[in-house]
Structure formats: structure tokens, C-alpha cells
Amino acid sequence: MRDLIRKLTETYGPSGFEDRIRAVIREEVESLADEVRVTPLGSLVAVKKGTGEGRRIMLAAHMDEIGVMVSHVDEKGFLRFTAIGGVNPLTCIGARVQFENGTLGVIGIEGKREDRSKVPTLNQLYIDVGATSKEDCPVRVGDAAVFVRPFAEQGQRLVAKAMDDRIGCAVLIETLRRLKKTQNEIYFVFSVQEETTLSGARTAAYGIEPDLAIAVDVTGTGDTPEARPMAVELGKGPAVKVQDRGMIAHPLVRDLLVKAAEAAGVPYQMEVLEYGTTDAAAMQLVRAGVPSGCLSIPCRYVHTPSEMVDEGDVEGAVKVLIEAVR
């Protein structure tokens, strides 16, 4: 799956600008699914039809990534920007970003700050694209950029920008590739705008009306020096979500994923995330309510330009999903 993960993570696609990554994913799933369509908001839906009177199951991974958007261009061609999703100023200084038209920029910090010992705010940062004036600046207000980092392999550990949540997309694609016929009808949804509004998964679920929904996303870990205590580690298997800031997983889905992991012989972890949420929080609130849960890929340095996952955890997630939807 490494080549697939490389292709997905290195493709441009911040929230609200998912056309390019959607085209890449569509090329991967078109020949594997019985039906492929795009929702009005832009989420990609690949359907694997069932063989009998089974359930309608929705699997969702968001294809958007965090980024930045130009909010002002000054007379010298320097750009002020706002965040698309959760962007931490600490991870920005000196980072490179790339716009949809290919323009590269470097994020700099104002030299004259009242208290240089404090963490800077986004308002104190700017992007330098090498322009000499506002007139020759190759980007404009409203243009979006993503962080630039090449995919890297360190043994079993894989590092890239946008692992959140291209790694979930890779898991869904590989699950679709390996899945044999089941009595259930499976909807593989590659959602838009999770990092900002969760609107892609919410509207897709409204149209699908699933009997059960599972998000596949990343989660934090507690295994780095002086980390905030959390019982999730890299290399110990995918994590079954119990709770995060946006939802409590439905017991039916939580137990289904646990039993699937045990049946597949995959080590797993139980996840309680104190911050952040996933598409599952939106899917569970559609219509009269949908039993929803989440299978999480442990990930270090979430929402930075260098997110790290363990290949064994990714492979384990595929096996658990296949067993669960069966």
C-alpha cells in the first residue's frame, strides 16, 4: 500500500478544494466498485452491492487536509493568511506551502513582536512567494495552499503531510480492493470538508440512509516524551474509538469493531480522545440517528506537516474493516 499512500498524501486537496484528490481516488476505485458517484457537495461515493437482504453500511474517510488561505496581499507581495482547519502557528514558521497553481511559499514571522518569548499567533505570520509587488504576486485573496513535505519511509513508520486523513482513504481503497461479496451493501465515502465543518459526511449519510456507519480516521498517541497521557501507541494496532470531544461511539458499532479485530487476529487498542472528533460525530445525527463509530489509525504529530503512522496499524485496520462489514 506504500505507493498508494505516497500518491494520496502528496496530492493537493485542502478543505473546500478537493477536486484534485477526488480525481486521484476516483481513478483508484472506479474499476472496483459497482457504482461511483459524486454528491452535490463533492464527496465521492463508491458502492459495493450486496448479495442478499443485508444491511446498508457506510464507511467514511475524509479526503480533505488542513491548509491556509490568503486573506490579504500587501504592496510588496507578502501574503497574510488564515487557517483552513486546525493549524498550529508553532508548526508553521519556516514551513513551505504550495498553492493549487503550483506556486511555492515560505512562512515567515514578523521581526517586531512585543514579547518574543510568547508563541506567535497566525496574525503575526506571513507567506513569502518571492513576489516583489502586489501586481506580480502569482496568488490572490481566497487562494488556498497546503504544506509541502515528501512521503518518507523509516522502516515500518511512514511519514507525510496529510496522513490525516489520506491514510483513512488508503484503508478504504484497500478494503474495497480485497473485499469479496457480502450480503451487505457497502458505501465507501471519501468525504469533503471534515477539517472545517464535517459537512461532506453529514450530507452523504443523509442521502445514503445507512443502517450503520464507521469513520476511519487518525487519532493521537500517548507514546512520545512527556506526552499527554493517552492509552494509544504506534505499532500496537488500530484503535476502536470509545469517545472523543464530538461523540460517544454507539455500543453496537464499538463492540462490532472489537469482535471483528478479535476474529481477524488483529491487536487493537481502545481510544478515548480528549480533543477533536471525526465524521462519525456528524453521521450519527442524520435523520432519526445512525449507530456510528470510528476505527482510528494511531498517528504522531497530527495536524503538522510531518504526520507519522505505523504500517502494521494500517494493515490491521484493513483486516478489521473487512471482517466488520462481513
pLDDT in tens, 207-241: 999 999 999 999 999 999 999 999 999 999 999 99
Distance from the first to the final alpha carbon of the chain: 22
What's the pLDDT at 52? 81
User: Could you report the per-residue pLDDT of 48-94, keeping only the tens digit for each?
Assistant: 999 888 999 999 999 999 999 999 999 999 999 999 999 999 999 99
Domains defined along the chain, listed by start: 2-65+161-325 (3.40.630.10), 67-145 (2.40.30.40)
Length of the chain: 326
Find the helix packing angle between 2-9 and 163-178, rounded to 10°. 140
Q: Distances in Å between the alpha carbon of 274 and those of 142, 219, 271?
A: 32, 10, 10
Does 194 participate in catalysis according to the annotation? yes
- Asked whether the beta carbons of 194 and 204 are under 8 A apart, the reply is no
Residues 90 and 22: their CA atoms lie apart, in Å, by 30
What's the pLDDT at 114? 75
Model confidence at 19: pLDDT above 90: yes
Residues 294 and 192: their CA atoms lie apart, in Å, by 17
> 18, 28, 65, 194: which one is catalytic?
194
Average pLDDT over residues 174-197: 96
